[in-house]
Structure 1
Amino acid sequence: MKKNKPPIKDRENGMGYLFLSPFVIGTIGLTLFPILYSLYLSFTDYTMGGTPQWIGLDNYVKMFTADAMFWKAMEVTFLYAGTAVPLRLVFALLIALALNKVVEMVGIYRTLLYLPSVVGGSVGVSIMWRQLFGTEGAVNGFFGQFGLPQHSWLGDPDTAIWTLVILYGWQFGSSMLIFLAGLRNIPKTFYEASAVDGAKPIQQFFKITLPMLTPVILFNTIMQTIQGFMAFTPAFVVTEGDPINSTLLYILYMYRQAFEYFNMGYAAALAWIMLLVIAIFTALIFKSSEHWVHYDDN
């Protein structure tokens, strides 16, 4: 006897599930399971290659009461994120404002200014930055041409972190493009009407541009804050956390615990604390947005 074919609707649903299965399997196997497993590991004493031993909250207690390097890494990371993120956002906004006035060849300028963001997180650029600020690097060479005093930028604990801050600010391309898109969406009629009323450019900026751009500023602030707290490559390649741990960013410290000391359980606990810190800051930024972000329907 001939077998009855399943209804067309069931066959379509089955085909849909088949196409969705790689995404579902990938999400569960490569995202959800590692997240939950890292949470479990954070409550264990686990050395890579060994067997996890349940120790409860010991990793977290040690972190807050007996690990001075944890507090040092947190201090450096807060300093880095608190200065580098505003620097990048200001640079990005200023460049976007300039490009918004350009009519000819704007695409070329936009591409050239975006390039630092494309290659900025690479190891190659970090190596270049290390050479640039080295004792015999281009920065000291430039100062030498004018008879100015030279300095060991990467060897001085007071200046090493600022070289990383400048590197982060230099990679403003992605934020700049988002700001530029926001500027292009502000109706020109607002500026024309205000000009008729005698408003100067500086007044237009604070009364029209900034208020209309606040949703974009909110988005950029959140994204760049997350990236600032998760910075790793510059500290790892440019300074290796030195001198005297003045550039020991949190993610670099977590990396050392995991892949140099093989304390995977403790590293997992560090990761969850950073997730909590990022979540708190994101929530605070969202909460504050009620007072300074303006939407079209307000």
Structure 2
Amino acid sequence: MDTNVRENKLTTPPSYYCQTTAEETLGNDEVAELIHTLNPTITTAQAKTVLQNFQQVVTEQVADGKFVKLKNFVSFMPRLQVRLDVPTDDIPPDAVKVAAKVPRQFNRAVQNIATYERLGYPSKAPEVVTGYETTTEYPRFIREGYPFRLTGKYIGFDVADEDLGIFLVDADDNEIEQDKIALNDPSKVIITADFGGEPAVSPNVEKTIHCRNRYTRHGTLREGSYEYVRSMNYIASDQLEMFVAGSDATGPVQAVQHDAPAEDCRVEAILKPDDTITLAIGPYTGEMGPPVSVTGGDIVLTGLAVDVTLNIADQDA
């Protein structure tokens, strides 16, 4: 597991503590897939159904006042955390709270197999957590001339210092300072995106956002990066490439036919827990069409007025 060392400013002198960071967060789908891997006779779907049934059973039994104790793993029990002025006071209907307890044996089992990687003691620097175009609220999507919102830590800056600010770098390494700032708070900044006079053109639509700041008048210049945001990819008869990374000229998906009238649309690719990929197409805002599993070669997507055919590159080619 990865851990950062953080300063505890509540102690005198200051002390330090370890804060773990999630390498990955597993949900029902991911846990079900791991159970299937551990025991192939149980399908992923069966494992997921058991997990869902387990949650339902525990919920109903704890609500009925019972304790659920899984030996050497975890226990669930109901609690009534209320204060009554007199013994005959009514108990509020929402007073029940669920408590969970992890036994020492489970802690020891994790300790016996856990390994640690110290990520270091981080210095104060701009950190962008999320970024999205405010009109559609699509994450990591940016359009020239439209507001784009950044949220995080230490990203607000002094506009009077010409070294500080928000900078957009395209796939051709053109760096454009963003000077249209609608909001400039320590944890929230809104820019009106400016791609500059010579931006990288389709299909090179990946961009990096740099936040530069300093926290004392003559302090060291600190920089944080947000990778990657993507702008609109314009598909035309002479530019059919999709899902291109960096400054690559080609990508894994290519449009085959697009003789419908020009319109803005979305194409979504989803990587599923079983390592299969689906593609779906839909209007720029609105419901997506049905997802289609990627098997290579041509696939037809419905979701617009005219069906769209895409060609999927052979991953072994």
TM-score bin (small chain): under 0.3
Greater RCO, 1 or 2 (C-alpha within 8 Å, sep 6+): 1
Indicate the structure with greater helix content. Answer: 1
Normalized per residue, the structure richer in strand is: 2
What TM-score comes out, normalization by structure 2 length? 0.23
TM-score by length of structure 1 reads 0.24
